[in-house]
Each structure stands twice: as C-alpha cells, then as structure tokens.
Amino acid sequence: MGNYKQIMEMEGVTKVAVLGAGNMGHGIAEVVAIAGFTVVMRDITEELVQKGYEGIVWSLNKLVEKGQISEKKSKETLDRITTVVTIEGAISDADIVIEAIPERMDLKREVYKEVEKYLPDRAVVLSNTSSLSITELSEAIGCPDRFCGLHFFNPPIKMPLIEVISGDHTSEETFEFATQFAKKIGKFPVNVYKDSPGFIVNRILTPLLNEAAWIVYEKRGKIQEIESSVKYGLGLPMGAFELSDQVGIDVAVHVLEYLREKLGEEYGPCPLLVEKIEEGNVGRKVGKGFYDYSKDVIDIQVEMRSETIEILLAACMANEIAKLVEKEVAEVKDIDQAMKLGTGIEKGPAKMADGIGIGKLYQVLLEIYDST
C-alpha cells in the first residue's frame, strides 16, 4: 500500500460524483441524493447527462405518485443533483466517486487515468461494474488501495442489495468505508471477499437468463411457460425474459461473455439474446426487448407453469451456487440472502434446491451435460 492516504471519515462525506448517467448511473445518483448527499452526475455529452436527469425526474415523480416519498423530498432530492460533462468538474471536490460507465475495460481504464489526475487525496473510487475483476480495474488507477466494487441492482431505487467487493489491493479501511456508505444510503450490503467473475448474483442470475433463452432457442419450451415457471414456480418477481429486458439484454450478454472468457464455454450467450442486440432491441431502456413496452401488457399466466422447466432452472442456479461455495467466494447463507435482496426471489435458491432434493437436481444436470 505504498500510496496509502487517509480516507474520509463517513461523517465528513457530503459530495458524491457519479460517472455515467445511463440506466444504472442515474439510478445510483437518485439513490445517493435521496439519502441526503450532494451529487454531481457526469456523462460524456450534454444530451446523455440530460437524459439521465430526466430519468431521475421520472422516477421521483413515480415515487411521489405511489406515495413512497413526499413532493418536498422529491424537490429537495433534485436540488441536490447537478450535471456536468467533464471528469474534472465532477470529481475535483468529491469525497466519493462512483463509476458506472459501460462495461469495457479499455473505456474504464481511460476514465480512471483522468480520475487519477483530479481525485482528492481523501476520496475513494467505487465501481459499479457488474462482473469485471475489481483487482484488474484497480490496477488501472494510481490508488488501488482506495478502490473497491460497489455493485447496485436494477432499478437501484427499488432493489435493496449492494454487493461490496474487495479486490486484492483494496485496503480494509476502504472496504469498511464502502460497506458503511452502502448502509448510509439505505441499502443492505453483502460483502464479497473474493473477487470472482459476476460476483454472487450475476454469477447465478445470468446463467439462469441464458438457460431460459436456450430452452426457447432449442424449442424445449415456450416463452410463456418459462415466464410462468420463473415467476410462480421459482418465485422471482418477474419472468426470465421480462427480467432480461429489465436488466438490459446487452448488459446480460456482456456478463455472459465475460463469464465465458474467464470460466469456460458453457457460459456463452444464447443466439436468441445476441439476435436481440443485433436488432437494437436490448430491453426496457429502449422500449423494446422480448416485450414491446409501447403496446404489450405483460400478463404471465400461472397455468402455464412447467415442473420440468422449474427443476431445470433450479438446477442451473444450484450448480452455480456449488461452484461459488467450492471456490470460497461466499457462504451459502450469504448467497441466498444476496439473491433475495438483489432479485426479489422469494426463497433463497440454495434453500429451494434443498427442498427439491440435491439428488434430483444433480440428475438433471447430468442429463444436460450428456446432451451437449
């Protein structure tokens, strides 16, 4: 820790810079501002930053409409948010920098070089990366000890989980600081001590979304059956395709590509997902994905449930849990907790696996591997 500097005490933190005003960036800026911090949100153009700001206005209006916050609180929140297009303008006075830019290592490196120039000595840098290695990212910045993963879930305002991920160079102080900050903004942190591709939730969830797509692609089941089995059988709040649209099909595919690169071919994205990206229909954020949000009413029918699909998808999750536990990335109870808070699944998938019977799930997995 050659370049170790004393970081800010949590009590002294007032200013947070959020780099990136996209789907996650603007949602994070909203959460942080609602919690009372002053936020500067930055993106590369006036247009992008304005679009993000409008996203915050839309969301706050929804919360007011549903009686979840008052008009006064909504207005005060907006008053705490300013937008800029330069990194210097965003971070030169910041106590915390949250990076939420696209998931490209080269882009992140470029931005970190700039961050390094203007970052105050007391500040920490937290990345919202959905799967990239925190250690590798931290090596692109001159203060790796003050760098940590802070992974939010979509939509940030609604999902209570934050994964706090320590890289090899993250100091204990930074990790503790990030955990306290997550609590301070009203979230439930789950600590991920081992920097592993996809961390906990994406490592389990994206293979599930991928398997759902493979079932349709290989004509082993229909979309309606999967949606019903996932929502009413596995107890997720949404169907798998609805959830892919929510997460962003581009984001899900990116995570899968990364898992493939780091862990093996079996994680490669299904062509059905890739086709959606080629068409530009990447999900809810563009108005169209598997559903068309300008006209479709999502109506998932409970009678479409399929036990075979439920068991197959439960086996898929159990398999990833076993790998995480084997590699000591997290304990079973933390995995179940993270999945419940990060995806809204009713019962932890490990507990669910116990209920179905590990032997039965093992048999299903053997059949999948035998047929591929």
Residues tagged active-site: 130, 151, 163, 202
Select the residue interacting with ligand 3HC from 74, 196, 202, 319 (CB under 6 A): 202
Strand order in the sheet with 15-19: 81-84, 38-42, 15-19, 96-99, 124-127, 147-152, 161-165, 188-192
- Name the residue nearer to ligand 3HC (CB basis): 29 or 315: 29
Please give the helix or strand (H or E) that residue 17 lies within, else none.
Answer: strand 15-19
77 binds ligand 3HC (CB under 6 A): no
Q: Measured from the CB of residue 118, what is the shortest distance to ligand 3HC in angstroms?
A: 27
Residues 114-153 within binding reach of ligand 3HC (CB under 6 A): 130, 153
Residues 151-180 within binding reach of ligand 3HC (CB under 6 A): 153-155, 157-159
Select the residue interacting with ligand 3HC from 246, 259, 310, 334 (CB under 6 A): 246
323 binds ligand 3HC (CB under 6 A): no
Contact segment (CB under 6 A) with ligand 3HC among 45-53, 208-216, 336-344, 354-362 equals 336-344
Q: Total binding residues for ligand 3HC by CB under 6 A?
A: 23
Phi, psi of 168 (to 5 degrees): -60, -30
Q: Measured from the CB of residue 62, what is the shortest distance to ligand 3HC in angstroms?
A: 4
Residues 25-54 within binding reach of ligand 3HC (CB under 6 A): 27
237 binds ligand 3HC (CB under 6 A): yes
235 binds ligand 3HC (CB under 6 A): no
- Name the residue nearer to ligand 3HC (CB basis): 30 or 95: 30
Cis bond leading into 155, ω under 30°? yes
Residue number of the CB closest to ligand 3HC reads 130
- Contact criterion met (CB below 8 Å) for 230 and 239: yes
Residues 6+ away with beta carbon under 8 Å from 5:
121, 122, 143, 146
Select the residue interacting with ligand 3HC from 251, 272, 277, 316 (CB under 6 A): 251
Q: Measured from the CB of residue 70, what is the shortest distance to ligand 3HC in angstroms?
A: 15
Residues 263 and 206: their CA atoms lie apart, in Å, by 14
- The tokens 């170790």 sit on which residue? 4
Question: If you ran DSSP here, which 8-state letter would residue 64 be given?
Answer: H
- Contact criterion met (CB below 8 Å) for 259 and 132: no
Residues 90 and 367: their CA atoms lie apart, in Å, by 53
Residues 348 and 73: their CA atoms lie apart, in Å, by 34
Residues 356 and 321: their CA atoms lie apart, in Å, by 15
Select the residue interacting with ligand 3HC from 230, 238, 240, 335 (CB under 6 A): 238
- Contact criterion met (CB below 8 Å) for 212 and 206: no
Please give the residue ranges that form the binding site for ligand 3HC (CB under 6 A). Answer: 27, 59, 62-63, 130, 153-155, 157-159, 201-202, 205, 237-238, 243, 246-247, 251, 342-344
